[in-house]
A and B are shown apart, each in its own frame.
Chain A
């Protein structure tokens, strides 16, 4: 158990030192696909923050309130995925209702949040690291915010890249992967700031 670490520290750590994308390399698929425009990246990021925070909270409740007492811990994967899928459906309806252009811009990547490994990853980290409820929610929110930060930074860079002359073999996903690597190294600079597992 790590009850001594304050949720605030976990929040900061999840954004900078333990960025779910740049430290754990989770959620790469939509990161690469939806990072061409800042606007779209922000929209998807907001959806990920919302889904990640809510699903860690719900999954915490389901895991500790239902699966642990009944000795059904082994159901965690399938149950977590079901909860996440349902929530993504909800978010999809919500976005379609209130922001049709964002809905169409995100296209297939909105329903694909369901299988965004970062979301499931956050719920599983919460179990492995034995977080309390508040810590879990902080981690979920921080993880989403960290992912959003990374994708928005990348979108900004890619928008700039439109005006630069990239050598042919590096164009497209190749240069994006290289930049992701560099960004990950830069984020390692935050390493001493706070430490969680």
Chain B
């Protein structure tokens, strides 16, 4: 009998506390519907309060880039919140510079919607859509690089500028995360999106993508990115890529020759060994059709005794230095590891390019 009482009292007490807590939650964590005013009243959204600004915007089909799934560990989801965000939180400060804090830049995933907000979102991001697609083909390029083609289902077309990227949704133990990959298919093929993916050991996104089979469904958002191709046909385009950094370059080059068959363009591609070389035949073919297109592949590791190689050797920035004469009107696109970007930027600046004409993507 005494045990019955004991259990009854204990369970009763727990139930009572649970009820009290539920009531308190209803009263305290209820923010009602809040309005988000975007770009000085251009658009106004009504979203449910209590969630993060990132998920609130995502609900309304505004996709802010975010790689970590809203846990505040990537620092990609920066947007300007003019009003209603409250003070900057300790979880945001590591990702924000002083000038960003002064101009009200916040991490959208850390800002909780508690009241009406006024935010500024770049026009580009408002055009970002969520796509559902199926894998049309996968092709092994090198021992760790695969080219994966998605054919778009909903919406059926993507409007992208060459050099832009998409964020592919990949499953992870902590819920879906997004990983960024450059689009390598040219912008005149709006029904497909090609990605060039290097398998990173232990990487969530690359492991997921490498294990996809034909007809598997995928979801991604895009296009994102600041690359802007110069519309003036007299400007020479310089593309420098390392490893799977060739993806945006392929997009830029094919888009370029679709529009301006005679435009001058040089592609520099840096690899380690002959085993890492891919797309070379396609580019050589293109160079035959368009005489103003120069392809330079360079290997940084010594060439093995049985291998044949008729391209350049050494680091890619040395080839850039060798093949470009100074003082031309140029625009450059770089994509590759940070030391490569730094070395190439240095060379390009010596050749007379200004900072605004050098676009780069470090990874």
Q: Is the CB of B13 within 8 A of A62?
A: yes
How large, as a class, is the contact surface on chain B?
20 to 34
For residue A89, CB closer than 8 A to chain B, the reply is yes
Report if A79-B13 is in contact (Cβ < 8 Å); known contacts: A93-B29, A97-B29, A100-B87.
yes
Give the shortest distance, in Å, between A55 (CB) and chain B (any CB).
12
Which secondary structure dominates chain B's binding surface? helix
Would you list 25 pairs from A and B whose C-beta atoms are within 8 A, ordered by A residue?
A66-B9, A66-B13, A67-B9, A71-B2, A75-B6, A79-B10, A79-B13, A83-B13, A83-B17, A86-B17, A86-B20, A86-B21, A90-B20, A90-B21, A93-B24, A93-B25, A93-B28, A94-B28, A96-B29, A97-B28, A97-B29, A100-B86, A101-B90, A104-B89, A104-B91
Query: Quick one: closest A residue to B72, CB to CB?
Result: A104
Find chain A residues with CB under 8 A from B25 CB. 93
Instruction: Confirm or deny: B14 has a beta carbon within 8 angstroms of a beta carbon on chain A.
Output: yes
* Interface status of B272 (Cβ within 8 A of chain A): no
Task: Decide: A105 near B90, CB < 8 A? Known: A70-B5, A79-B10.
Answer: yes
Q: CB within 8 Å of B: which residues of A?
A: 62, 66-67, 70-72, 75, 78-79, 82-83, 86, 89-90, 93-94, 96-97, 100-101, 104-105
Provide the bound-state CA to CA distance between A83 and B16, in Å.
10
**Which residues of chain A are near B86, meaning CB under 8 Å?**
100-101
Tell me if B17 and A101 are in contact (CB < 8 A). no
Query: Bound complex: CA of A70 vs CA of B24, how far in Å?
Result: 29
- C-alpha gap A68/B215 in the complex (Å): 68
* Given known A82-B13, A86-B21, contact A104–B90 (CB-CB < 8 A): yes
Closest residue on chain A to residue B29 by CB atoms:
A93
Which B residues have a C-beta under 8 Å from some C-beta of A?
A: 2, 5-6, 9-10, 13-14, 17-18, 20-21, 24-25, 28-29, 86-87, 89-91, 112, 114
Q: Which A residue sits closest to B92, measured CB to CB?
A: A104
* Residue ID in chain B nearest A94 by CB atoms: B28
Residue in A closest to B17 when the chains form the complex, CB atoms: A86
User: What DSSP secondary structure best describes chain A's contact surface?
Assistant: helix
Give the CA-CA distance A46 to B20 in the complex, in Å: 22
A72, B89: Cβ atoms closer than 8 Å: no
When chains A and B are docked, how far (Å) is the Cα of A79 from the Cα of B10?
Answer: 7
When C-beta atoms are compared, the residue in chain A nearest to B89 turns out to be A104
Q: Which residues of B sit under 8 angstroms from A66, Cβ to Cβ?
A: 9, 13
- B5 x A101 contact (CB < 8 A): no
Which residue of A is nearest B88, CB measured? A101
Distance (whole angstroms) from the CB of B233 to the closest CB of chain A: 53
Whether the Cβ atoms of B90 and A78 lie closer than 8 Å is no
Of A72, A86, A90, A101, which is within 8 A of B6 by CB? A72
A86 to B16, CA, bound (A): 10
Closest 10 pairs (CB-CB, A-B): A86-B17, A104-B89, A93-B28, A97-B28, A104-B90, A101-B87, A90-B24, A72-B6, A104-B91, A70-B5
Shortest CB distance A191–B (Å)? 39
